[in-house]
Structure 1
Amino acid sequence: MIPRPALLNDLSGSCVLTSGATVSGDLVDAVRTALPGLDLRPGDSGEIDVRRDPALGEEAYRLTTGSRGVEIAAGGPAGAFYAAQSLHQLLPAASYRFSPGASWPVPGARVEDAPRFGWRGLHLDVARHFSPKREILRLIDLMAAHKLNRLHLHLVDDQGWRVESRAYPLLHEVSSHRPRTATNYYREPDTYDEVPHGGYYTLDDLAEIGVYARSRHVTVVPEIDVPGHASAILAAYPAFGATGEPHDVLDRWGISPAILSPLPPTVEFLTTIFDELIGALGETPYVHIGGDEVVLDHWAESAQITAYRESLGLATINDLQAWFLRRLADALAERGARAVVWDEAFVSGGLRQDTIVMPWRGMGVGRRAAAAGHDVVATPVFPLYFDYAEAASPDEPMAIGDAITVEDVAAFRPAPEDWTDEERARVIGVQAQLWTERVPDPRTVDYRLWPRACALAEVAWSGTTAAGFGERLTEHYGRLDALGVEYRPPAGPHPWQRRRPHRPSGVRVADVMARIDSMTHDAESTRPSV
């Protein structure tokens, strides 16, 4: 199984599970949702019996299969759902295909399990390249099959805005598309495809995504990245910028100096956007507000912003950035949601204590955030940035650099042993990031995510990878095949998965990490107390 349960014992005896079988007990709907292809039917008694056990945690379960059929005990709907996912992995890979009327042998087994981390996430950047709603729903299904439970959607960046706004309609009318897209490798001169790109989710789409995700015990975490990465927002509403100057939706990659103003009208604008997002998604316990890669030059050059900073009694523009993000976090807290930020926001200081920090620049800054009392979701570039190639080979599709392998992900430990117990307790989860500058379509999304996300799933569920992961992954490929996942084959890409024949030397992960280490060290030396 992937992820491997805490306890998995073979038992004597077996049974047969037939499509259309009956499921009975307390948590029937969770099991039926987890196994849609088996067309399970509710009944007073049946082949699958599921009961709530209040002694178990919400996501914990016991699964027993044998001559008496299938018995599930779960702490809540999530536990029953995950028990059913484990049951599915006891069946042949063909059971993942639509096959009405089929019967499947179920070996005798006892499984006892519960997750190590509550936050088991995947991030998808839909701003750089848009993924239609159907692909988001499919990704939720694949996450659920691997017991991943947080879908972080990066909804806005310089290159696009991806959600309808009825209060500010120019956001989706103007900012959701660009006339062309850069196609060059990292550090090469810009070249373009001259093909328009765009798309956005309506609020009705978001509502559907939210309901669909919750039914599969996945929480959607929307991200509105501010105050930097603001070109697309300012293409629609330049008045919310620090300069008021017109902008275009960017067609190239990299960091832009475009920045929102920190003045009250911008805060009001963003809180209105939050209300629309939360209203559409429904239960939204987390909203990511970014805070990364912010170029503060326009704030420093603005007399109006300088005067406003001084009126607040703030000494520096870094203090103003911290104030701005805290004000947004306060607004979210008033709406029942916790703010999530990238680690630069922590380094700037002044965060609300309940703000969750994602240390993309490495676990060193993550440890500092944990020591300061913030909950941390491990998100380091190495090995959790899946926009990096999986091998240093000219056959690999275009990527920002190379290489992050399945083995690298499998070896990752979200809560390092050399941290204190208090610091380790602050690590609430782990998440992989798929930035899509060089991921132009859903087929490439599949290639980049899988099978590395299989290793992520085991690390996120167990805190480590269990023995025999490689052999279990080889067997798991049959399930991915049945599900139609166009994963990267272990021997390298299929001919149709390869990209341009030219490949420059590119950037190595080791060089990136050395640069990030120097950035976080320099930032720490000037960081205000938090």
Structure 2
Amino acid sequence: MDLIPTPSHKPTYSADGSFALTAGTLLVAEPGTEATARWLRATLGAATGLPFAAGTPGERSAGGVVRLALDERASGSAEGYRITVDPASGVRIIGAGPAGVFWGAQTLRQLLGPDAFRRAPVGAPDRSWQVPACHLQDAPRFGWRGFMLDVARHFMPKDVVLRYVDLMAAHKLNVLHLHLTDDQGWRVEIKRYPRLTEVGAWRERTKVGLRESPLWDERPHGGYYTQDDIREIVAYAAERHITVVPEVDIPGHSQAAIAAYPELGNTDVIDTTTLPVLPSWGVNPNVLAPTDNTLRFYENVFAELLELFPGTFFHVGGDECPKEQWRESPTAQARIKELGLADEDELQSWLIRHFDKWLSERGRRLIGWDEILEGGLAEGAAVSSWRGYGGGIAAARAGHDVVMCPQSHVYLDWRQSESPDEPVPIAHARGLEDVYRFEPVPPELTEEEAAHVIGAQANIWTEVMDSVRVLDYMAFPRLAAFAEVAWSALPEPAARDWPDFERRMTAHYARLDALGVEYRPAGGPLPWQRRPGVLGRPKEGPPPIV
């Protein structure tokens, strides 16, 4: 039935026809499924105009029943589920856990057709809502099916984040990684350090395009989430079985924090009181000083954030940290000597290890970009492998968990075709089929090593995405292809049925239309999706796979 992501087991369809949802159809939520029942009644109820009156376990109705139940035998995974649609009695969704019931409800929504994704009924008042008679069993391949949204470079208001939570849920993605801090902005309220948002949450102007561009937007840009905003986002995501992982980038990509609190920088090398929140892009030499004051400052920041984000993982970045200031800094060199470290790479490793231990003592786990491997990896750390597969392979072989997100495959800020019409073209062209053929587990890993690949993630960096319309264009439809890779039990990339996926996308485009997603059309950007005159940084040929 053109499902995306495709079920892990091939569905069977009955020749008996379909089950019709009517005003008399009951919604029965057995214990443990009440949250999904609320979501289903609110979402499908709005789209269909049907009441989905509450029934009791075992109750029958002339209008049939949509029954939600738990049975740990439904699948080998707590996120697995089974759906049975019987024309006479209705729909039964059985999840191995509450998440499985929710993903089953998402599948039911797809089975009803694109108009089930609207917020109000369309068509005739007596329209018939048919669910095809079928039986399917499904469970995800990976436990981490992530999407990283950079809200630091261009701030995305809370309603945009909540909308993307719903879009993730519709694609059975379950980890929202929020990139909350960078050189260009600090996006979360920290009560102990108010200047992080008073100063660090806005910049005076913004580079239009990448560093090579001569264009500037002279409007101030800024914004941040209050702690109650974060609580709302986390709770909203949790109801949809999505975990929010915060990222506070250290020790690089930290100029917004230094602009707010200059003592965090390498004051013995530069006058940090003159540093603004950075208005342009790229790797930045102004990094945190490796001092006790910096450690205590970020411990206090993290302590407030742990109260807001209850998930296991906490992302500390660790990427793109130039070491020039540390080489010139007497303070940094004295710390290297004091700790008996070999060089500046080991100094960064020491800082990451400090926070790995600090987080572990509080029942959390550190995760960082693959640069945290340099100088030695902290004992309990997990790795987001972005520069290719190499970092993830090394980490998995050393017994560390890995989230595969190589830029060569799943950086959704990369351009989508070779066409000159692509807006602000970045790096290599990676289209829908390229993402569909992404394989998260490198073949050179043994079975034991491969078990450390806990999932995959698509990342979107927003230097040139200054609105939700641009974000939609870059994320979709490629995020739909990624969702299938992360969920479904697909064959090796070369054996994947691209024509079948392309055919199923025809139906999925209609769902995205109903959701109001301004995706990139298969034929290329629409006139208003282009950015003529704004330079990018395109690269020719296929990307290197490392």
CA distance in 2, matches of 1:18, 1:166: 51
Instruction: Tell me the matched-pair count.
Output: 511
CA contact (8 A) 2:8 2:139 kept: yes
Residue-by-residue CA offset, 1:470-519 (whole Å, 9 max, x unaligned): 111111111110111111110111111111156677323646x37xx5xx
Please list the CA deviations of residues 460-479 of structure 1 after superposition, one character each: whole Å capped at 9, or x if unmatched.
00253763111111111111
Q: What secondary structure does 1:84 align onto?
A: helix
Give the structure 2 partner of residue 10 of structure 1.
Answer: 13
Is it true that 1:250 corresponds to 2:278 in the alignment? yes
Rounded to whole Å, the distance in 2 between the matches of 1:19 and 1:230 is 56
Q: Is the 8 A contact 1:35 1:88 kept in 2?
A: no
Within 5 Å, give how 1:105-184 maps onto structure 2.
105-184=130-209
Aligned counterparts of 2:432 and 2:234: Cα–Cα separation in 1:
30
User: Which of 457, 463, 472 is residue 431 of structure 1 equivalent to?
Assistant: 457
Equivalent residue of 1:38, what SS?
helix
Within 1, Cα distance between the matches of 2:489 and 2:356? 29
Structure 1 partner of 2:107: 86
Question: Which residue of the partner structure matches residue 44 of structure 2?
Answer: 38
Q: Tell me the SS of whatever aligns to 1:340.
A: strand
Matched, 1:450 2:462: no
SS in 1 for 2:169: helix
Cα deviation, 1:421-442, whole Å, max 9, x if unaligned, reads 1221111101011001111111
Residue 210 of structure 2 contacts residue 281 of structure 2 at CA under 8 Å; is this kept in 1? no
Number of the residue aligned with 2:514: 482
Per-residue CA deviations over 1:92-146 (Å, capped at 9, x if unaligned) read 2111112357641111011101101000011111110010000000000000010
- Deviations along 1:146-181, one digit per CA (max 9) or x if unpaired, are 000000110011111101111000000001000111
2:85 corresponding residue in structure 1: 65
Contact 2:346 2:374 in 1 (8 A): no
User: Which structure 2 residues correspond to residues 493-504 of structure 1 after superposition, within 5 A?
Assistant: 493-501=525-533
Superposition TM-score, scaled by structure 2 size: 0.90
Q: Which runs of 5+ in 1 are unaligned?
A: 518-530
SS in 2 for 1:508: coil
C-alpha contact 2:208 2:534 (8 A) present in aligned 1: no
Alignment partner of 1:285 is 2:285: no
The alpha-carbon deviation at position 333 of structure 1 amounts to 1.6
For the aligned residue pairs, the C-alpha RMSD in angstroms reads 1.8
Partner Cα separation in structure 2 for residue 323 and residue 392 of structure 1: 43
Query: Which residue does 2:338 correspond to in 1?
Result: 311
C-alpha distance in structure 1 between counterparts of 2:223 and 2:298, whole Å: 21
Query: CA 1:238–1:19 in 2, change beyond 3 Å: closer, same or farther?
Result: farther
Deviations 1:300-340 (A, max 9, x none): 22222222232222232211110100111111122222111
Residue 280 of structure 1, CA deviation: 2.1
> CA 1:262/1:20 → structure 2, altered by over 3 Å: closer, same or farther?
farther
1:364 aligns with 2:395: no
User: Contact 1:190–1:252 at 8 Å: present in 2 too?
Assistant: no
* Change in CA separation of 1:504 and 1:98 when aligned onto 2, cut-off 3 Å: closer
Of residues 131-140 and 383-392 in structure 1, the stretch that sits farther from structure 2 once superposed is 383-392
Tell whether the 8 Å contact from 2:318 to 2:371 is kept in structure 1 after alignment: yes
Greater Cα shift, 31-40 or 374-383: 31-40
Check whether the contact 2:185–2:201 (CA below 8 A) recurs between aligned residues: yes
Change in Cα spacing, 1:271 to 1:508, as seen in structure 2 (3 Å) is farther
Matched residues in 2 for 1:312 and 1:445: separation?
45
The offset of 1:285, in angstroms, is: 1.3
Written as runs of structure 1 = structure 2, the 5 A alignment for 1:387-466 is: 387-464=413-490
Identify the range of structure 1 (91-100 vs 286-295) with the bigger mean alpha-carbon deviation. 91-100
**What is the rounded CA distance, in whole Å, between the counterparts of 1:9 and 1:476 in structure 2?**
20
Letter of the 1:62 counterpart: R
User: 1:271-282, aligned counterparts within 5 Å?
Assistant: 271-281=299-309
1:261 paired to 2:284 = no
SS for the counterpart of 2:68 is strand
In 1, Cα distance between equivalents of 2:516 and 2:112: 17
Alignment partner, residue 49 of structure 2: none
- Which amino acid counterpart does residue 37 of structure 1 have in structure 2? T
1:374 to 364, 385, 400: 400
Letter in structure 2 aligned against 1:228 = G
2:312 alignment partner AA: P
Q: Does 1:50 align with 2:68?
A: yes
The corresponding residue for 2:27 is: 23
Asked whether the 8 Å contact 2:393–2:442 carries over to 1, the reply is no
Question: Under a length normalisation based on structure 1, what TM-score does the superposition of the two structures give?
Answer: 0.93
Separation (CA, whole Å) in 2 of partners of 1:158 and 1:377: 24
Query: How much has 1:394 moved relative to structure 2?
Result: 1.7
Within 1, Cα distance between the matches of 2:358 and 2:535?
47
Distance 1:256 1:34, change over 3 A: farther
CA distance in 1, matches of 2:228, 2:452: 35
- Residue 193 of structure 1 deviates from its aligned partner by 1.4
SS of residue in 2 equivalent to 1:446: helix
Q: 1:477 to 1:350 in 2, by over 3 A?
A: closer
- Amino acid paired to 1:423: E
Residue equivalent to 1:527: none
Question: Which residue pairs with 1:199 in the alignment?
Answer: 223
Are the counterparts in 1 of residues 35 and 239 from structure 2 also a CA contact under 8 Å? no
Report whether the alignment pairs 1:332 with 2:367.
Answer: no
- Name the amino acid aligned to 1:168: Y
Contact residue 392 and residue 404 of structure 2 kept, 8 A: yes
